[in-house]
A and B are shown apart, each in its own frame.
Chain A
Amino acid sequence: MIGLHDEAAIYAKETAALARDGGGTPRLRARLDGVALATSFKGVTLEGLEVIFIVIATGAGGLLAPAALGATLAGSLVILAGLGLRRPLARVPENTLKFAVGVLLSAFGVFWIGEGLRYPWPGEDLALLALAGGFSVIALLAVAAVRRSRRPA
């Protein structure tokens, strides 16, 4: 369980640390920064692997090319959206964003497990909405329970 924290402050601290480790002069900073490379690589590898698994799962059964094309187009759109929306997105509360993403990932994960086990989900794809709703309720109840348990007596 990850507690609430200030993403902007953490980002400032981490970039300061990377700048310190990468060297102080512009000439040194112009060279390839191994620390920044490794940090970014680690962050993107996991997401890239998820994309690969999704493409393989979606494209199994002769649809690999369309699935790969769809993923490429989506990746390009996300990069453009990230560049264009980075300032307004930075204003979205980080923990709210993580909560929503966690609920959606959990719902999709359970749905895909069921698909892999050949379960006939009630309502088929609409079961995703029910799963997302279910995980939202459970997560909200869990947050309320943890807050109550941490309230001073």
Chain B
Amino acid sequence: MTAVATALRELWGLFVEDASLTLGILVCVVIAAWALPALGLREAWRGPVLFVLLAIVLSENVRRSARR
């Protein structure tokens, strides 16, 4: 069981380096998928808005990491 738990933890670690950054990215994707169309944003602007959201999440993560 310990070996299985270790293997799962290693597999998780391969995909998720920083859980807060991962969560932030997922929130941005959810906003892009549902909130932007619901707000009636023109299709041509949704990609650039997605980029801006992700850039904000990335910058905030760097700021927090630098303070640690």
Binding site for B on A (CB under 8 A): 1, 42, 45-46, 106, 110, 113-114, 117, 119-122, 127, 131, 134-135, 138, 142, 145-146, 149-150
Interface residues of B (CB under 8 A from A): 10, 14-15, 29, 32-33, 43-44, 46-48, 50-51, 54-55, 58-59, 61-63, 65-66
Is the beta-carbon distance between A42 and B15 smaller than 8 angstroms? no
What number of residue pairs across chains A and B have CB atoms under 8 A from each other? 55
B65 to A, closest residue via Cβ: A1
Q: Are B55 and A113 touching (Cβ within 8 A)?
A: no
Measured between beta carbons, the chain B residues less than 8 angstroms from A138 are 55, 58-59
A3 to B47, CA, bound (A): 31
Asked whether, in the complex, the Cβ of A114 is within 8 Å of the Cβ of B66, the reply is no
Q: At the interface, is chain B mostly helix, strand, loop or mixed?
A: helix
